[in-house]
C-alpha cells in the first residue's frame, strides 16, 4: 500500500518541448505542412519568451476550443496527450548565426526525434514531397533500417519520424 494519495494509472504523457529560432517559420511548418493546430499560446513578458502548444485536433474539438476562454484552453492543453510545445526565446529569429542543437550530432547529441503517426505513410510521404525544398529529408521511406519509416527535419533541424504502424 502506497503512502501517497496518487494513482499511477491516471498518469499520461502530456507534452514535449523544443526550442525554436523563428516561431513564424516553425508554426508555418507544423500547422500547414504537418497539419497540427495551435491550441494555446502564452507570452512571458518578463522573461522574454513565448510558448506555443500544438496538437492534432479533429475539426469538432477545434471548433469547440475556439469558443473557450484562455483558462479553458490552457486546461484543455495540459489535460490531453500528444502536445508539442514550441518555445521561442525572443530575438533569436534576428540572429543569423543562432541555431539550436537538434540532439543528433555533436556537440549536443542526446535528443533524437519526435514521431507522428499517419494513416498511410506512402501517401503522407508523397504529400510531403509536394512541398519541394520546404522539406528537409533525413531518410526517405525505405532508406531507414526500419523500411516503413521516413524521417524529415523541421526548420530548426529537429528530426520527425513519419510512420503508419
Asked whether residue 113 is marked as a ligand-binding residue, the answer is yes
User: Which residues have CB under 8 Å from 157's CB, separation 6+?
Assistant: 99, 100, 102, 104, 136
List, for residues 113-130, the tens digit of each pLDDT value: 999 999 999 999 999 999
* pTM of the model as a whole: 0.92
Provide the pairing of β-strand 15-20 with 83-89: parallel
Mind listing the domains of the chain with CATH numbers? 14-94 (3.10.180.10), 113-165 (3.30.720.110)
**How far apart are the C-alpha atoms of 75 and 57, rounded to whole Å?**
15
What is the per-residue pLDDT for 1?
53
Sequence-ordered alpha helix ranges (H) in the chain = 23-28, 59-65, 70-77, 121-129
Which residue's entry shows cell 484562455? 70
List, for residues 71-102, the tens digit of each pLDDT value: 999 999 999 999 999 999 999 999 999 999 99
List, for residues 19-28, the tens digit of each pLDDT value: 999 999 999 9
Asked whether residue 85 is marked as a ligand-binding residue, the answer is yes
List, for residues 37-62, the tens digit of each pLDDT value: 999 999 999 999 999 999 999 988 88
**Set of cell numbers at residue 68:** 473557450
Amino acid at each position: 500500500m502506497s503512502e501517497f494519495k496518487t494513482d499511477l494509472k491516471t498518469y499520461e504523457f502530456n507534452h514535449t518541448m523544443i526550442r525554436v529560432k523563428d516561431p513564424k517559420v516553425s508554426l508555418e511548418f507544423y500547422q500547414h505542412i504537418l497539419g497540427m493546430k495551435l491550441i494555446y499560446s502564452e507570452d512571458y513578458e518578463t522573461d522574454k519568451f513565448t510558448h506555443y502548444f500544438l496538437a492534432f485536433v479533429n475539426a469538432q474539438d477545434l471548433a469547440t476550443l475556439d469558443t473557450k476562454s484562455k483558462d479553458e484552453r490552457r486546461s484543455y492543453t495540459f489535460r490531453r496527450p500528444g502536445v508539442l510545445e514550441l518555445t521561442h526565446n525572443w530575438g533569436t529569429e534576428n540572429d543569423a548565426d543562432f541555431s539550436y542543437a537538434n540532439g543528433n550530432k555533436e556537440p549536443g547529441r542526446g535528443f533524437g526525434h519526435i514521431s507522428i503517426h499517419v494513416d498511410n505513410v506512402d501517401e503522407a510521404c508523397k504529400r510531403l514531397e509536394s512541398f519541394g525544398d520546404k522539406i528537409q529529408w533525413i531518410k526517405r521511406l525505405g532508406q531507414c533500417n526500419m523500411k516503413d519509416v521516413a524521417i524529415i527535419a523541421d526548420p530548426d533541424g529537429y528530426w520527425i519520424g513519419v510512420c503508419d504502424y
